[in-house]
């Protein structure tokens, strides 16, 4: 038996094999999953743009004019006019000097860290940062890594003091070591928000750079413009990373910042230079999503209204929604098998909400992560609440 087969057997024995349900419809409030029409409460399609008629039409029109693929990496013949227009529009929307797009939010984090740092530099990272940040630091082979307690500014300052001492010794090439503080903007499993103003203040005090992964903040916070707009910190956060597959409804990642930073990334980033960029329809669809958000924050307001309604209703049932500050609504259950059973029971009642268990969250912190969107109606949420109450009573989570 090979090592991977042995590992698989352990997962099977623990009942931890993930089963991927099949979706056979467009994304929306209701979708077809494994042949059944169910209420979708586990999508990151926050604003309902994944199947918005204007977005799909933009993709179709672009295919008719430009084709589907770009044929090469952007450094060769694959740099479409649509790529450059999207980047200009993203920068304007986010209030930054420049932006550029890559194939995914995961890749964007790798580009942001690997291109800027090497093993002699220093990273200070929130303990609950996304897996893509953890992997980006590994790929950069940074040897001096510090983890601070989640959203704890006293802990962050302690790590900065240690990092400052390390910084006193120059790199082998004689240049100064960089200190990079990295945080998620919105933490996807709990829905809480990073204290970005305090992080920026500490970064300035200790001459560190700041990087925020705003994957769950773009389209959600700051009238859709993200966490930097939310806290009015324009020009004070060095690196803004985002994903284009959640609130914007398509695929891709982006990095925004000052002009020199983005120019540097475009010259040096290996995943950008050696991999074909976004397809034509994806890029055109994203331009329309940005256009919709630039003209109105109606969808953002609806998202927040739905999130608050769901959260308040769950609390009134006596259920624990953790410390969320956003529409992300974790239904805290603790036990992993309970979370799996809860999800399975909800599906029987036509509500699709997947269990979140280890390693996505620590053991003992299992939950159902409920994700309302702007496409849900109050009637949809009431349907979900009825099923959640019924399931919680059946599994003895509440009386």
Positive or negative, the CA dihedral 125, 130, 133, 134 is: positive
Token pair of 263, please?
Answer: 């120019």
- Whole-angstrom CA distances from 59 to 52, 66, 192, 279, 350 are 11, 10, 34, 10, 31
Give the pLDDT of residue 11. 86
Give the pLDDT of residue 367. 94
Give the pLDDT of residue 362. 87
Residue in 94, 167, 177, 246 annotated catalytic:
246
The architecture CATH gives domain 21-51+297-394: Alpha-Beta Complex (3.90)
Assess contact for 185 and 227: CB atoms under 8 A.
yes
CATH code for the part of the protein at 54-295: 3.40.640.10
Strands in 239-243's sheet, in edge-to-edge order, are 98-102, 253-257, 239-243, 209-213, 179-184, 122-126, 144-148
Give the pLDDT of residue 148. 98
Give the pLDDT of residue 234. 94
Token pair of 266, please?
Answer: 């475009």
Q: Where are the domains of the chain?
A: 21-51+297-394, 54-295
Give the pLDDT of residue 142. 95
Residue in 80, 188, 245, 375 annotated catalytic:
188
User: CA 226 to CA 62: how far, in whole Å?
Assistant: 27
What tens digit of pLDDT does each residue of 283-336 get? Answer: 999 999 999 999 999 999 999 999 999 999 999 999 999 999 999 999 999 999
Question: What values do phi and psi take at 380, rounded to 5?
Answer: -60, -45
Assess contact for 75 and 214: CB atoms under 8 A.
no
Neighbouring CB atoms inside 10 A of 14's CB total: 10
The C-alpha R_g of the chain, in whole angstroms, comes to 22
Residue in 216, 225, 230, 376 annotated catalytic:
216
DSSP per residue over 139-170, as a string?
A: HTT-SEEEEEPTT-HHHHHHHHHHHHHHHTSP
Q: What's the longest Cα–Cα distance across the chain?
A: 66
Does 246 participate in catalysis according to the annotation?
yes
Give the pLDDT of residue 42. 94
Instruction: Give 315's contacts (C-beta < 8 A, 6+ positions apart).
Output: 321
Q: Tell me how long the chain is.
A: 399
Low-confidence ranges of the chain (pLDDT < 50): none
Give the pLDDT of residue 399. 78
pTM of the model: 0.94
Does 216 participate in catalysis according to the annotation?
yes
Domains 21-51+297-394 and 54-295 share a fold: no
Does 316 participate in catalysis according to the annotation?
no
Give the pLDDT of residue 392. 95
Give the pLDDT of residue 135. 96
User: CA 91 to CA 255: how far, in whole Å?
Assistant: 9
Give the pLDDT of residue 211. 98
Q: Which of 310, 318, 296 is nearest to 353 (CA)?
A: 310
């Amino acid at each position: 038996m090979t090592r991977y087969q042995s590992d698989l057997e352990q997962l099977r024995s623990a009942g931890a094999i993930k089963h991927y349900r099949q979706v056979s419809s467009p994304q929306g409030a209701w979708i077809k999953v494994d042949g059944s029409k169910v209420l979708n409460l586990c999508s990151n399609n926050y604003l309902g743009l994944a199947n918005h008629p204007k977005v799909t039409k933009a993709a179709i029109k672009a295919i008719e004019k430009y084709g589907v693929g770009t044929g090469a990496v952007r450094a060769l013949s694959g740099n479409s006019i649509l790529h450059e227009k999207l980047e200009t529009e993203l920068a304007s929307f986010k209030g930054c000097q420049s932006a550029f797009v890559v194939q995914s939010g995961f890749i964007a984090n790798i580009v942001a860290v690997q291109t800027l740092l090497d093993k002699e530099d220093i990273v200070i990272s929130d303990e609950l940062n996304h897996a893509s940040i953890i992997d980006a630091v590994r790929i950069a082979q940074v040897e001096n890594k510090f983890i601070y307690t989640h959203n704890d500014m006293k802990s962050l300052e302690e790590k900065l003091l240690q990092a400052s001492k390390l910084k006193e010794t120059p790199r082998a090439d004689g240049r100064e070591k960089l200190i990079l503080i990295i945080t998620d903007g919105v933490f996807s499993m709990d829905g809480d928000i990073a204290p970005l103003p305090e992080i920026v203040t500490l970064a300035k005090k200790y001459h560190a750079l700041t990087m925020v992964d705003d994957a769950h903040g773009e389209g959600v916070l700051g009238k859709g413009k993200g966490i930097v707009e939310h806290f009015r910190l324009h020009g004070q956060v060095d690196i803004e990373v985002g994903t284009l597959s959640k609130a914007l409804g398509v695929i891709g990642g982006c990095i925004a910042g000052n002009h020199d930073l983005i120019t540097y990334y475009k010259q040096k980033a290996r995943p950008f230079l050696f991999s074909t960029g976004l397809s034509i329809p994806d890029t055109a669809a994203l331009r329309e999503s940005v256009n919709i958000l630039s003209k109105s924050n109606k969808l953002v307001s609806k998202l927040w209204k739905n999130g608050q309604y769901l959260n308040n209703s769950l609390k009134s049932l006596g259920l624990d929604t953790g410390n969320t500050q956003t529409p992300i609504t974790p239904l805290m259950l603790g036990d992993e098998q309970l979370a799996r059973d809860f999800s399975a029971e909800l599906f029987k009642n036509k509500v699709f909400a997947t269990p979140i268990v280890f390693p996505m969250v620590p053991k003992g912190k299992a939950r159902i992560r409920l994700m309302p969107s702007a496409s849900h109606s109050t009637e949809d949420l009431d349907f979900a609440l009825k099923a959640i109450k019924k399931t919680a009573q059946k599994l003895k989570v509440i009386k």
